[in-house]
Structure 1
Amino acid sequence: MSKAISIFDTTLRDGTQGEGISLSADDKLKIARKLDQLGVHYIEGGIPGSNSKDIEFFKRIQDFNLSAKITAFGSTRRKDSQAEHDANLKSMIQSGAKAATLVGKSWDFHVHTALQTTLEENLAMIYDSIAYLKQNGLEVIFDAEHFFDGYKHNPEYALSVMRKAEEAGADWLVMCDTNGGTMPHEVHDIVTSLVGQASSSRLGIHTHNDCELAVANSLSAVRAGAEQIQGTMNGYGERCGNANLCSIIPNLQLKLGYEVIDPEQIKQLTNTARYISEIANVHMPVNQPYVGTAAFAHKGGIHVSAILRDSRTYEHIAPETVGNRQRVLVSELAGQSNILSKAQEMGIDINPENESTRKVIAKIKDLEHQGYQFEGADASLELLLRQANGELKELFVFESFKMLVEKTAGRPVVSEAFVKLNIDGNSIYTAAEGNGPVNALDNALRKALISYFPRIANIHLSDYKVRVLDEKDATASKVRVLIESRDAENTWSTVGVSGNVIEASWEALVDSLRYALLGQTKREDYEEIPSAARGLVNL
């Protein structure tokens, strides 16, 4: 039977120390529920008593009935005091948590410099604090802060800290690479030296990513005998972050054969990572291993040609194993295989021998040369492919638009857009104000279309990005606009490029609504479309 490894998630505590991350009590509760569904074994909720958010979290989490053990975090008693009088330790006991993470110093340099006490008093602080928590029925996880640095400078004292924690009854002894500067071979050697010395406590590892080695160091510690890994989702944490559980969990389970979480639960890994990214309001790197949108994305034509025959040619696992999916990117590097794969994914029947296929490939490459990028704008690409395949006709004909932007002293800028379209042979002219010219243009376009296509009322823009393509041209530079739109069920992205940001925005806006009507108009909705417009959408 494979060895079981315990996963200790500290996203809600250590992860929130990362720059730009702030979670409300509601955010923490949502993330805790998601982590429990993933199957982690411990969820460190924060420092009870330190702030109102953490107090609220520990109070409300009691009603959630989670499988994971909710863990409170705190430090050893103050020097020259008694554990039973320490407010920090009392709040951990009163939090209702079943387990407690207690951090203590294991580097003599820190004892003298940070705590400004003696080595003997530090050992007493560790012993008294752990014993007090154990007497009050808590499982105790002792985090030996700066253990690896301490071991390298004074191995005997670092080991004496672990022995004292074990004597006090600690259930877990966790070795921390707090500064994140230890190498994998050092971790392996040091953990190996500790294995066998602890008779009752189990060993864990807590690493930071300052040398881009947190994941490697965690795996190295497990290989040497550690049975618990502490980390965060997406690697959130102070400075360069903590060990990334999104990489650690599949590496342990799928590559090294350890028993970590249920195989069905690991399929939730990608969804969990992205969900937490959204709650934390932190951009998730597209190239993040296993769970990033580019983790199984293929761009080069040779690669795509091979994966169409067998995905193992360029994928180390099946992306569905971790809840991700394979993506084929279409760009100036695209070949016929890329186009065929994307068309198949979109349900478009394209003949590789057809002249139109070669023409659309050439057109895509030309558009990419002009500055378009379809990797993040699948909706615009699908419209292009359907139009090339003769499946798409326009729902409306654009005639003109005008913009009025007025600024007077002491008053905010006023933006107004005027749009003229032809729908069903009727000339439609609308005007609308907005919070800026692009918003005004969007409002005017929707106003013109909504009486013909009422479903666009449920569509809204969720993101708007502008990128300058020719910085040397300063304010005359060509720009690329990427718009993300969504309805109750779906999200899609469209792109526009121009030397004028308004024109680029217009292109992306029009594609967004064209795609929405393409996707939402089904046969059962046919009667809702004006008679002369029937047949103008893809049915």
Structure 2
Amino acid sequence: MSIESRHIQLMDTTLRDGEQTQGVAFTPTEKVSIAKALLQFLRVDRIEVASARVSEGEKEAVSQINQWARQEGFADRVEVLGFVDHTRSVDWIRSTGGSVINLLAKGSEKHCREQLGKTLEQHSTEVLQTIAYAHEQGLKINIYLEDWSNGYKDSPDYVYGLVDRLRHSPVSHFMLPDTLGVMAPDEVFNSFHDMCGRYPDLLFDFHPHNDYGLATANVMAAVRAGISAVHCTINCLGERAGNASLAEVAVVLRDKMNMQLSIDESHLVRISNMVENFSGKRVAANAPIVGADVFTQTAGIHADGDQKGGLYKTRLGPERFSRTHSYALGKMSGKASLKKNLERLEVELSEEDQKKVLARIVSLGDSKQTITTDDLPFIIADVLESKSYQHIKLLNCSLNSGLDLQSTVSLRVEIQGENHQATGAGSGGFDAFIDAISKVLKKYDYRLPELADYEVRIPKGGHANALTECVITWNCGNELRKTRGVHVNQVFSGIMATIKLINIQLHEMKSSAE
């Protein structure tokens, strides 16, 4: 069923409904920062920033937001949830300099009867009384019909009766929430199609929740049925399973339904990161649009296809969100994945060196699932300076360390075709390894030189799972020698650097003997 393209308002309720997420409480400064970002940079049409009469801290935050909004021309786009309490919510909002109240009425007969103990007539009279006072005080008025989804299903006549009593009052938007997230797309479409057809002169908003993981699909159904605005949150924050994700809704409405929106997509990820940091609720790496990994290709065949003709690219490209495409390096990597990353680093390698580097990446991928572009210079440097000497091979090595306990090592090595086992102890894992390997090397009249320096580092901006590079400077008599080891474990990076030196010196001993 085709539908005509039209403008859909996005109302962000991160600062109100999103703050009802378990464990989330924004400070006034954080609230102001998020509000400014939403309106000034992301350009959402409206924001809901608080519930009236919650706390003095909330009042301070709302006052600061409203003061800024008035100066910037956004005053009528900042909304506060209010209650059917005649003057109290209205006066609270007015005292903060607010211009809009989102009045919370009962959208289901069961809530009205069992929670309030009132009839439709009694409740609607009190709602109209609060509306009249808000209008008298100069506020713009929207109204929530709380639990509308269950109310419409269980007692549609109650819903019609409430809307009939309010439709001629000064209400701008009738906001219909799926408060408990119980609707499926066909139910959303049928109910909104009925409401929009029955009341063509009213503006309806849809306020979805994501309890069944259907929030975005439900938004599509509501828009298809004719609603004019959708409520969302950044990062899907909200009670229980959260609200609809603003990023998902925005992209789906544009790409899949050809709707017109006000928002600037290039700021979605930056604001997602801001809310993630302030809320303490982490975004899944595979979350659509804003997840850390969603524009990363892992399989080598995908990188190959993109290189040969953009075969795996879609309209959902990273550039529109101020992001970049990346190609993960690991055990599933191919030549194309490596080439893409080398291009990004502006590094050229011969075909032979690319093969060596790729082999090392695949090997590391067994112990570290993904190698980043930041890790790659370490690997390149390590591979290019490595010689093909195989006088000593580390076959196995087990480390045990504990707080205030000596570290122990058990290892198995092959030297010139012969297997050896040894154990060692020391003040740390590397010290224990040196003790163990020295016992083996005595049999070959070889003694490790003294350490002159030992440096461990990770890539700039690296994460806790970044590769570790260890560069050891050895005091080899008349000269200092440096060897490098790269591994996901910093102790093993030192061990790799040590094995490299042993290989070099065993080779020199063999050559001089010949």
Task: Name the residue aligned to 1:245.
Answer: 246
Task: Name the residue aligned to 1:155.
Answer: 156
Is the CA contact (8 Å cut-off) linking 2:173 and 2:203 kept in structure 1?
yes
For residues 19 and 160 of structure 1, the distance between their equivalents in structure 2, rounded to whole angstroms, comes to 35
Structure 1 residue 355 corresponds to structure 2 residue 352: yes
Is the CA contact (8 Å cut-off) linking 1:343 and 1:385 kept in structure 2?
no
Question: How many angstroms does 1:419 deviate by?
Answer: 10
Of 110-119 and 381-390, deviating more is 381-390
For residues 92 and 311 of structure 2, the distance between their equivalents in structure 1, rounded to whole angstroms, comes to 52
Q: 1:33 aligns with which of 20, 32, 36?
A: 36
Of 377-386 and 228-237, deviating more is 377-386
Task: Name the residue aligned to 2:78.
Answer: 70
Is the CA contact (8 Å cut-off) linking 2:66 and 2:96 kept in structure 1?
no
For residues 326 and 429 of structure 1, the distance between their equivalents in structure 2, rounded to whole angstroms, comes to 39
Question: How many angstroms does 1:177 deviate by?
Answer: 0.3
Structure 1 residue 138 corresponds to structure 2 residue 139: yes
Aligned residues: 425
Per-residue deviation, residues 138-175 of structure 1 (Å, max 9, x unmatched)? 12121111112111111111122222332322100111
Is the CA contact (8 Å cut-off) linking 1:172 and 1:201 kept in structure 2?
yes
The one-letter amino acid paired with 1:359 is K
The one-letter amino acid paired with 1:145 is E
Per-residue deviation, residues 370-416 of structure 1 (Å, max 9, x unmatched)? x12334x432233213544569xxxxxxxxxxx99559xxxxxxxx9
Task: Name the residue aligned to 2:188.
Answer: 187
For residues 483 and 113 of structure 1, the distance between their equivalents in structure 2, rounded to whole angstroms, comes to 60
The one-letter amino acid paired with 2:98 is A
The one-letter amino acid paired with 1:304 is A
Is the CA contact (8 Å cut-off) linking 1:48 and 1:95 kept in structure 2?
no
Is the CA contact (8 Å cut-off) linking 2:66 and 2:78 kept in structure 1?
no
The one-letter amino acid paired with 2:364 is L
Task: Name the residue aligned to 1:343.
Answer: 342
The one-letter amino acid paired with 1:308 is Q
Question: How many angstroms does 1:426 deviate by?
Answer: 11
Residues 199/128 of structure 1: CA separation in 2 closer, same or farther (3 Å cut): farther
Is the CA contact (8 Å cut-off) linking 2:430 and 2:494 kept in structure 1?
no
Is the CA contact (8 Å cut-off) linking 2:297 and 2:326 kept in structure 1?
yes
For residues 308 and 461 of structure 2, the distance between their equivalents in structure 1, rounded to whole angstroms, comes to 38
Per-residue deviation, residues 179-221 of structure 1 (Å, max 9, x unmatched)? 1010001101111111143354311100000000111111211
The one-letter amino acid paired with 2:116 is L
Q: 1:372 aligns with which of 355, 365, 368?
A: 368
Task: Name the residue aligned to 2:259.
Answer: 258
Is the CA contact (8 Å cut-off) linking 2:67 and 2:97 kept in structure 1?
no
For residues 504 and 194 of structure 1, the distance between their equivalents in structure 2, rounded to whole angstroms, comes to 66
The one-letter amino acid paired with 2:22 is E
Runs of 5+ consecutive residues of structure 1 not aligned to the other structure: 78-82, 392-402, 408-415, 431-444, 450-455, 465-480, 485-494, 511-539
Question: How many angstroms does 1:115 deviate by?
Answer: 1.8
Residues 197/128 of structure 1: CA separation in 2 closer, same or farther (3 Å cut): farther
For residues 54 and 88 of structure 1, the distance between their equivalents in structure 2, rounded to whole angstroms, comes to 13
For residues 152 and 124 of structure 1, the distance between their equivalents in structure 2, rounded to whole angstroms, comes to 24
Question: How many angstroms does 1:67 deviate by?
Answer: 4.8
The one-letter amino acid paired with 2:55 is N
For residues 152 and 356 of structure 2, the distance between their equivalents in structure 1, rounded to whole angstroms, comes to 66
Q: Which has the larger Rg? A: 2
Q: With structure 2 as the length reference, what TM-score do the two structures score? A: 0.74
Structure 1 residue 11 corresponds to structure 2 residue 14: yes
Per the alignment, in what secondary structure is the counterpart of residue 362 of structure 1? helix
Is the CA contact (8 Å cut-off) linking 1:45 and 1:58 kept in structure 2?
yes
Residues 389/307 of structure 1: CA separation in 2 closer, same or farther (3 Å cut): farther
For residues 83 and 492 of structure 2, the distance between their equivalents in structure 1, rounded to whole angstroms, comes to 55
The one-letter amino acid paired with 1:122 is H
For residues 150 and 63 of structure 1, the distance between their equivalents in structure 2, rounded to whole angstroms, comes to 38
Is the CA contact (8 Å cut-off) linking 2:297 and 2:328 kept in structure 1?
yes
Of 243-252 and 46-55, deviating more is 46-55
Per the alignment, in what secondary structure is the counterpart of residue 63 of structure 2? helix
Per-residue deviation, residues 13-63 of structure 1 (Å, max 9, x unmatched)? 100111232211111111111111100111111123311221111221233
Question: How many angstroms does 1:298 deviate by?
Answer: 0.7
Q: With structure 1 as the length reference, what TM-score do the two structures score? A: 0.71
Residues 11/462 of structure 1: CA separation in 2 closer, same or farther (3 Å cut): farther
Residues 270/76 of structure 1: CA separation in 2 closer, same or farther (3 Å cut): same
Residues 216/388 of structure 1: CA separation in 2 closer, same or farther (3 Å cut): same
Q: 1:57 aligns with which of 49, 61, 72?
A: 61
For residues 503 and 125 of structure 1, the distance between their equivalents in structure 2, rounded to whole angstroms, comes to 71
Per the alignment, in what secondary structure is the counterpart of residue 374 of structure 2? helix
Per the alignment, in what secondary structure is the counterpart of residue 109 of structure 1? helix
For residues 303 and 315 of structure 2, the distance between their equivalents in structure 1, rounded to whole angstroms, comes to 15
For residues 52 and 304 of structure 1, the distance between their equivalents in structure 2, rounded to whole angstroms, comes to 54
For residues 294 and 275 of structure 2, the distance between their equivalents in structure 1, rounded to whole angstroms, comes to 18
For residues 187 and 49 of structure 1, the distance between their equivalents in structure 2, rounded to whole angstroms, comes to 32
* Pairs within 5 Å for 1:348-427: 348-351=347-350, 354-369=351-366, 371-375=367-371, 377-388=372-383, 406=404
Of 311-320 and 274-283, deviating more is 311-320
For residues 281 and 463 of structure 1, the distance between their equivalents in structure 2, rounded to whole angstroms, comes to 18
For residues 430 and 5 of structure 2, the distance between their equivalents in structure 1, rounded to whole angstroms, comes to 66
Compute the RMSD of aligned alpha carbons. 3.5
Task: Name the residue aligned to 2:168.
Answer: 167
* Pairs within 5 Å for 1:84-99: 84=87, 87-99=88-100
Residues 91/108 of structure 1: CA separation in 2 closer, same or farther (3 Å cut): same
For residues 493 and 14 of structure 2, the distance between their equivalents in structure 1, rounded to whole angstroms, comes to 38
Is the CA contact (8 Å cut-off) linking 2:5 and 2:257 kept in structure 1?
no
The one-letter amino acid paired with 1:54 is E
Task: Name the residue aligned to 2:178.
Answer: 177
The one-letter amino acid paired with 1:9 is D
Task: Name the residue aligned to 2:476.
Answer: none
| Residue identity (%) | 23
Per-residue deviation, residues 236-289 of structure 1 (Å, max 9, x unmatched)? 000000011011112112332211125xx2221222212221222221111111
Residues 460/342 of structure 1: CA separation in 2 closer, same or farther (3 Å cut): closer
For residues 42 and 55 of structure 1, the distance between their equivalents in structure 2, rounded to whole angstroms, comes to 19
For residues 389 and 126 of structure 1, the distance between their equivalents in structure 2, rounded to whole angstroms, comes to 76
For residues 283 and 181 of structure 1, the distance between their equivalents in structure 2, rounded to whole angstroms, comes to 25
Per the alignment, in what secondary structure is the counterpart of residue 379 of structure 1? coil
For residues 300 and 285 of structure 2, the distance between their equivalents in structure 1, rounded to whole angstroms, comes to 20
For residues 129 and 239 of structure 1, the distance between their equivalents in structure 2, rounded to whole angstroms, comes to 30
Residues 212/348 of structure 1: CA separation in 2 closer, same or farther (3 Å cut): same
Is the CA contact (8 Å cut-off) linking 2:143 and 2:171 kept in structure 1?
yes
